[in-house]
Amino acid sequence: MLSKTVRKRLIWSSVVVLITLLITAGSYTGVILFGNYTIDEKDLVMSELTTVVDQEGNQVAHLFEENRELITIEEVPEHVQQAFIAVEDHRFLQHTGFDVRAIGRALYRDITSGSLQEGGSTITQQLAKNVFLTPEKSFLRKTEEVLIAVNLERRYTKPEILEMYLNQIYFGHGAHGIQAASKLYFDKEISEISAEEGALLAALPKGPNLYSPFIDEDQSLERRNLVLGLMERHGFLDKDEAVRLQGRTLPQEPSAITANPAYRTYVDMVLNEAEERFGIREDEILRGGYEIEVAMDRNMQELLHDQFEDAAIFPADSAGQIAQGSAVMLDNESGGVLAVIGGRDYVRKGLNRAEIPRQPGSAIKPLAVFAPALEEELYEPYSLLQDEPVEFDGYEPRNISGTYEGEMSLYDALVDSVNVPAVSVLNDLGVPAAKAYLSSQQIDLDDDGLSMALGGLTNGVSPLQMASAFRTFADDGIYRESYVIESISTTSGISILPDRELRTERIYSEQTAWYMTRMLEAAVTDGTGTPGEFPGALAGKTGTSTDRRDLWFTGYTPDVTGAYWMGFDRYDEDTVITDSSAISVIAMKALLRDVYENETEQLAFDKPASAEDLQDPIRLMTITDLEVETNLGFTGSNIHLSWTGSEDERLAYRVYEVTGNGDRKLVEELQGQDSYTIRGQNLFSKKEYQVVPYNPQINREGDPSNTVEAGFSFFSME
């Protein structure tokens, strides 16, 4: 039997072992519980930049709070992973979250130095510190760091931890994560990085500002070569290769990661539309890692931006203000915004004048007056309209020219932008009907007066609204709501569906749309839109508000629709504009020349199959050279009349015999002829004749010709 002493020793030994096991188990359980409590996996979901691309996949902009692009560990070359392991944690693959040796060395140095200088942190501890803890240095925080690191190692594999670490760390100059750093320092994808480049990236996290090659090249080179030396020491490189790589040069300047200033207005509109139409707030866009495909034409956007950098295209400055402007270009097929500028020197989150209402002047006439009247079949293009001073329930519109024709065709009233006929048409159409047509194209007005016909509005219309409504004519009468975002997808490729669909509605028949296109095309070639040069097909309308405060041109080619506005943000008694809307016409035509380059001659509007074409207007002429010749025939005298006719063979001529008291009797109506013979007349009678031009389009005669006398004489008067 065991002696009493031995039994006591065994009992005490067992108790000590049991207590030790309980303490160990309790400590381990405490570590696990603390780590589980501290770790919130949502904190490991890192913000990632959102990429904006055009429809061909070309990058337009990066949107971010932190410039970060997440990658998988499989995308990181092995030599790059080894560079980080060599310099940051060479026992990374062996330890379980913390390295006792490294902690011991760091603790010894901290004690001897009297301060917390040495980190001794593993890669896993650094990840724990950066994601879950504050940057303070204390023994307690170091303990928390270790506890979290142990739990991270329980939850994730080594490759997963290294992936999170490389995506999370900061590399300087705004680059978060190794992919952003790779593009910043080398303009490469991380998968393309060489061993010495990877060594430089691994050198940076300890002191991004200290070791950046763009700040201190000597320190950066020394640090990079230290990393290459450590890679050789730990068996990742052989000695000769390390020496060779240490001789490589460093990058000299960062690759640009800032957005092109040409895209600022567009990017702001993307952020607004993402929230309004897709329900994604701006802060989520800036950190969510989305890919946003937009309707932008980058070439057109950059051309528009460059144009707005040229002060010569704008009115002169006045009263301490620079003349402002905005422009928007839409795709005729889809309604997508191809290019947009919110103003000169536009800044992010600035005043986007493309969406600010302004007084449209006569540019509103096609939308509020003429197209609705045609659609309602109140008039046809060559219907005659009143053109004389008149009062409409107290409202007395006046023509800018101060002259009045008495009557003119709707065609001419639109082409020449005559005011009184426009108001007359709106009076017949009715303001409520006009507002309904505008509202169906998302232009909602509070106005109820006939001044709407001339653009006299309470709040006005924005360039984007004007372009969208004019685009309806180019799309055969179908309105499509404008937009900037084609699609949004997550990093995993899942498409985000919009909260609402874009509005699409037929507003006009194809016939009405075609009539408007033909008349607006004439407004550019023969009317108020003639300034400037553009050899391709272009239809459009100018607009000038009271006192020339707003100078407009809105027009379209077969492919694109655009609206230009120029003016000042504020007006007082000293603010003066001496230019006209011609300046906006010239600017848009200049942009279109650059956009189409040598392709303008192929541009032509296509008539819808269901529509009848609109013939060019027939113009009356004045005949001043009517001549008569009389000769003898078998049945009496033959009277031959001749005159100089019009080149337009559609013009008709009415031959009249002038009777007593100035009355006239119609003899014949001819078309496309410049002579007529009256046969079998009384040999001894004398008759007078006139020829009057007649326009069958408008059912109107022109001025009568000179009067000639026809008669046969047997004796000479000489």
Range 222-246 average pLDDT: 92
* Residue 18: pLDDT over 60: no
Helix (H) or strand (E) holding 374: helix 371-375
User: Is residue 80 domain-shared with residue 204, that is, in the same domain?
Assistant: yes
Q: How far is CA 60 from the centre of its chain?
A: 12
For the chain, give me the number of helices (H) and strands (E)? 22, 22
Going from the C-alpha of 100 to that of each of 96, 104, 121, the distances in angstroms are 10, 6, 10
Q: What percent of the chain has pLDDT over 90?
A: 63
- 88 as an active site residue: the answer is yes
Residue 701 domain flag = yes
The whole-number pLDDT of residue 572 equals 82
Q: What is the pLDDT of residue 94?
A: 87
Residue 692 corresponds to which amino acid?
V
Domain shared by 4 and 107, yes or no: no
Give residue 405's pLDDT: 93
**Global pTM value:** 0.81
**pLDDT-derived band at 467, boundaries 50, 70, 90:** very high
362 in catalytic set = yes
pLDDT class for 453, splitting at 50, 70, 90? very high
- Out of 160-174, 428-442, 465-479, 507-521, which region has the weakest mean confidence (pLDDT)? 160-174
% pLDDT > 70, the chain: 87
Is 570 within the bounds of a domain?
A: no
- Domains identified in the chain, total number: 3
> Is residue 254 a contact partner of residue 232, using CB atoms and an 8 Å limit?
no
Last residue of a domain, one of 190, 223, 246: 246
Catalytic annotation, pick one of 182, 362, 545, 637? 362
State the chain's mean pLDDT as an integer.
88
Q: How confident is the model at residue 651 (pLDDT cuts 50, 70, 90)?
A: very high
Q: Check whether residue 10 and residue 111 sit in a common domain.
A: no
Is residue 168 scored above 90 in pLDDT? no
Q: Are 8 and 101 contained in the same domain?
A: no
Q: Which residues contact 151 (CB under 8 A, 6 or more apart)?
A: 31, 32, 34, 35, 36, 38, 39, 97
| Residues 31 and 120 occupy one common structural domain | no
Q: Residue 434: phi, psi to the nearest 5?
A: -60, -45
pLDDT at 14: 58
In a domain, 194, yes or no: yes
**Same-domain pairing of 177 and 239:** yes
In terms of DSSP bridges, do strands 50-53 and 291-294 run parallel, antiparallel, or are they unpaired?
A: parallel
Cα separation, 472 vs 551, in Å, equals 22
How buried is 538 (Cβ within 10 angstroms: 0-12 exposed, 13-18 middle, 19+ buried)? Answer: buried
Q: Is residue 161 part of a domain?
A: yes
**436 pLDDT more than 90:** yes
274-287 residue pLDDT tens? 999 999 998 889 88
Domain shared by 178 and 224, yes or no:
yes
Bigger pLDDT: 409 or 169? 409
Q: How many residues does the chain have?
A: 718
* Mean pLDDT confidence for 297-305: 97
pLDDT above 80 (res 564) = yes
Of the candidates 468, 440, 465, 463, the one whose C-alpha atom is nearest the C-alpha of residue 561 is 468
Using the predicted structure, report yes or no on whether residue 566 has a pLDDT greater than 50: yes
Rounded distance, CA 598 to CA 672, Å? 39
Residue 261 has pLDDT above 80, yes or no: yes
Q: Is residue 227 part of a domain?
A: yes
CB burial of residue 291 (10 Å; 0-12, 13-18, 19+):
middle
The answer to the question of residue 545 being in a domain is no
Alpha carbon of 630 to those of 640, 658, 712, 716: distances in Å? Answer: 6, 17, 6, 14
Of 401, 392, 400, whose CA–CA distance to 429 is shortest? Answer: 392
Burial of 561 from C-beta contacts in 10 A (0-12 / 13-18 / 19+): buried
| Beta bridge mates, 385 | 408
pLDDT in tens, 311-342: 999 999 888 889 999 999 999 999 999 999 99
Average pLDDT for 427-449? 96
CA 679/CA 682 separation, integer angstroms = 9
- pLDDT value of residue 116: 47
| CATH assignment at residue 116 | 1.10.3810.10
- Same domain? For 19 and 138 the reply is no
Active-site choice (88, 153, 196, 293): 88
Which has more pLDDT, 639 or 23? 639
Residue 410 lies in a domain: no
Residue 259 lies in a domain: no
Same domain, 30 and 73: no
CATH number for 632: 2.60.40.10
pLDDT at 38: 57
Q: Tens digit of pLDDT for each residue in 667-684?
A: 999 998 999 999 877 777
Type of residue at 167: N
- Beta strand residue intervals within 332-453, DSSP E: 337-341, 384-387, 406-409
My answer on whether 29 and 143 are in the same domain is no
Final residue before a domain boundary, out of 224, 246, 268: 246
Same domain, 130 and 232: yes
Query: What is the extent of the structural domain holding 653?
Result: 627-710
The verdict on 27 and 131 lying in the same domain is no
